[in-house]
Chains A and B, each alone.
Chain A
Amino acid sequence: MRRRDFLKLVAASGAGSVVFTGCQVTEWAGTWGDGNPSREFKIQSPVMNPEDMQYGRDAYFATVYPQSSGGSGLIIRVFEGRAKKVEGNPDFPLNMGRTSPIDQALVHEVYHPDRLAGPMRLRDGAERGSGDYDAISWDEALSELSTALSEAGGAENSIVLLTGPVSGTNAVLAREFGSAAGARHVQIDLDEKLVLREAMRRVFGSEHLPSIDLANTRFLLNFSAEFLHHWISPTQFNIAYGEFRQGGENPRGTYWHVGPQLSATASNADRWFPINPGTEGMVALAMARVMSDEGLVDSGAVGSIYGDALGSIDVAQVATMSGLSADQIAELARRFAEAGPSVAIAGTHAAAHTNGLFNLSAVFSLNFLVGSVGVPGGLILNPDSPLPDDIPNPTSGISYRDLTTLATDINNGVTQLVLIHGTNPVYSYPDASGLGEALAIAPRVISFSSFLDETSVYADLILPDLTVLENWGVHVPDPGPGYPIVGLQQPVVQPFVDARAFGDLLMQASAQAGISLPWQSNQELVQTTVNALVGQGGNIEADDPREFMVTMQAQGGWWNDGATAAAAPSAPAQPLTPLEPEFAGDAGEYPFYMLPYPHNSLGHGEFAHLPWLQALPEPISTAVWTTWVELNPATADDLDVEIGDIVEVTSPSGSFELPVYVNPAAAPTVALIPMGQGHEHYTRYAEDRGENPFDIVAPQIESETGALAWAATRVRIEKVDRKVRLPRFEGYVTPRQLEEFPIIQVTRPESE
């Protein structure tokens, strides 16, 4: 029997109903396979499971993901009690229905196969760091926690609570616990964000991170800030970027990027001005000098903004120092002054130098020169939180310098008990911080981590917290959208494992230890916090607290677009002093600048446990699942290496081996290394992959804030006679297009 005859027979017989289960004959318009599409009959499959195989109904819940930079309002699809899909909350002003890759991967955190299933105690005789734990009951765990609190309490700073960045309810809880138990709350945030907050304070007198009215900006000048992929609020900025480019009402905005790396963000710029690392601030001052000399801006304003700082600026010298030409600096200055509304931002690498605060302050001050502070198309300063004063605004984390002091305190026996929640500092700081060694000998360490990571592995006791989708919380996103906003996090699914909310654990154990906190449960804390918003207007009109809460749960938060920040100042609060960057390592012995950079999906490594994000190609190299070092083609030729060849990267603080990616856009003097890998712990998807650049970052410090200057290390690179295959997407398609068949077609802007 011919195949075609067989198919005819099967289709016409009862067996056909089995073979074609799930198919629907929608049209009979011809015969089998006669090659004429208009006459062939069509069988339509839903390409999904048949309707009768689905039991249950969808439910959609609004919540907020505070860990995502800036905070995202989300709608979670829940089916039969399981979280299936993350969508953006269209009402939430920061992301307006849109999401980031990290938001999407949130569901994997709930169902992660290596999530800690319940409380655990370090096995008798096992050493800290061994990861050798025994499961215990929650009664035992709570009893041990309360005993630890009782025994350690009393002396000042004998208890230290280490957390990630917190706001809203978690910030209130940490503060109240601190004052009731005599504990010191230490918040750990990204070093570059610490520097940015201080710059905002000094330049604008603002305690908050900035937003940009990018949709109405005509010229964006960005000094190294990875604002589309990592910096402070990328989803918010991506939304605005779309409008900036093709919003329709305004002419297309122009974006120029000044920085040492053609990063994932910089590659979207109309022009890139490569500079030597750490010279962002000097270039900004040279621009101001040009604007002043050429009368492009009010000279009185220049004086009040920069004071004496411009007196010593020689544009030609800055050009030599930065790697630009004097003409390029003049071009930047003229365009910035004349193309308004213009806005200047700086961040990421610019903040991670010994002169990071100067870099950011000098760049953000440029906005005063062209009147772009607090106006349409300019930099938008965010107002204080609408919550009462006793509920803290988001604040700076501890500096690296203070972290080393904390480690010393632990070593000296000042600290008796270390509680750790939502942070992994042993991974994210160089060994020179001494924190790992301190935790290894601290009298008592208790972690609330959902996963075993480089820090929680030092704990005697692990009491796993709930994940974001299972927990309550109130958060104040920072940066906001330019007006007050509060996000409400609510549980959208039941806990998947035997974990408990950090807030509940701390409250219950504190009560057992005789430490008085104002709430009985985390949910009560949330309700109390939400009550403070009732009657403040905004998007929720209800006066009844219960109705207010229900409405807020449905909307995902509270915001008031009618309120804005206080009037912007007209000049920086503190004068600028020009400062050049300093690097660890002699230029002769270590000829390359090492530029670690935040990975677009793995961040600084906090998302390395999520498989979708591990498998997401880094946009520039397209590499996945590992670490590599990016070198300029000429540098690679000099070293006689090509893609996949192993090189040894050595800094004054250590060395490791990495495969090479030859990056046509890497400057000849830099070695680019992505952050995110090199975990010794942190689940099957992250362990023993690649290297952590912080392992060889020298402990250089930003001179004023004490933040870690993680971009201020020099390295040397030597070939090792080995080669690996670098896992990457490049190669599925060619790295370069054929000129005669452009895949990506380009055209000039209409106004050009």
Chain B
Amino acid sequence: MPRWGMVIDLDRCTGCQACVVACQAENNIPINTEEVFHQRRAIEWIRIERYWEGEWPNVKARYIPVPCMHCDNAPCEPVCPVYATYHSDQGLNVQVYNRCIGTRYCSANCHWHVRFFNFWEPKWPESLQEQLNPNVSVRSRGVMEKCTFCVQRINHAQQAATVEGREVEDGEFTTACAAACPTRAIVFGDLLNEGSEVAQMASTSNRAYRLLEDLGTDPAVFYLKKIDPDAPESQDAGH
């Protein structure tokens, strides 16, 4: 069985946000109106966080794309009273929408804030519904949702490979965010396949780290550190 994972090179990322719109187009994410931003309820399965460093004139702005980490020991999973969030045998942290009863325990227990609750029924003007992806469920009010690593693409590739009597090859498919990313900052694949690009990057790069790694949740998303000539020499990978 594969363990799907992602490597995001922060030295390549330019903050263009092609990944964000690609994800929304692929996964039927409701339009984030001005009102939901006021309510702090915008849904972005992958988002670009921007952090300031320093003061004028020695100030920097840095970007980091943040999807679900698909932790192997995911803190969101054991708190779900109805098994709506669970761990798949391929390493995915999956949300079963028709089982979710909206306790939001999983969201409260996620340190990365990558789970999103549908406080209202998602609405699109009738004509925009023509664009919705038929492969992806539209989530209803009262249901939690999150990045799935584009599980519909995974399933499609695996079904095609099964029909042809072979294994899924590295690079045969990818997530919507990785497909769009113009700088190739986002790479997706099987972390257990030693020959895959993600496994190579995660295991051999001396820049690899994981977000909040000290929590011990074993995230499947690896980051490669941003390179900055002004970085302090003592900056270590930390947690």
Contacts and interface: CB of A to CB of B under 8 A. Distances in A.
Given A615-B33, A617-B48, A665 B131 contact: no
A110 B128 CA distance: 9
A252 to B, nearest CB: 6
Contacts of B11: 245-246, 252
A239 B182 contact: yes
A42 B238 contact: no
A343 interface: no
Contact of B179 (A83, A87, A254): A87
Interface string A232-263: 00110011011001100000101000000010
Given A88-B179, A737-B53, A113 B125 contact: yes
Interface stretch (A99-107, A353-361, A508-516, A559-567): A99-107
Contacts of B179: 87-88, 97
B9 interface: yes
B42 A632 contact: no
Interface in A152-175: none
Contacts of B183: 238-239, 241-242, 245
A730 B81 CA distance: 32
A657 to B, nearest CB: 17
A35 B77 CA distance: 11
Most buried by B among A265, A271, A600, A665: A665
A230 to B, nearest CB: 10
B180 A88 contact: yes
B98 interface: yes
A60 interface: no
B171 to A, nearest CB: 11
Contact of B231 (A620, A736, A746): A746
Nearest to B40: A732
A235 B181 CA distance: 9
| B interface bracket (residues with beta carbon within 8 Å of A) | 35 or more
A309 interface: no
A43 interface: yes
Interface stretch (A44-52, A299-307, A529-537): A44-52
Interface in A615-673: 615-617, 619-620, 622, 624-626, 632-634, 664-668
B20 A86 contact: no
B141 interface: no
B89 interface: yes
A26 B89 contact: yes
Nearest to A81: B130
A749 B135 contact: no
Contacts of A271: 229-230
Interface stretch (B102-110, B160-168, B219-227): B219-227
A728 interface: yes
A344 B27 CA distance: 40
B56 A632 contact: yes
B48 A619 contact: yes
B239 A42 contact: no
Contact of A104 (B18, B113, B129, B233): B18
A85 to B, nearest CB: 6
Given A37-B87, A252-B227, A267-B60, A616 B17 contact: yes
29 contacts: A42-B87, A48-B155, A84-B131, A85-B26, A98-B18, A104-B21, A104-B180, A105-B25, A108-B128, A111-B130, A267-B60, A267-B62, A267-B63, A601-B21, A613-B21, A615-B42, A619-B16, A619-B61, A632-B56, A634-B56, A727-B37, A728-B37, A729-B50, A737-B51, A737-B53, A742-B235, A745-B235, A747-B231, A748-B235
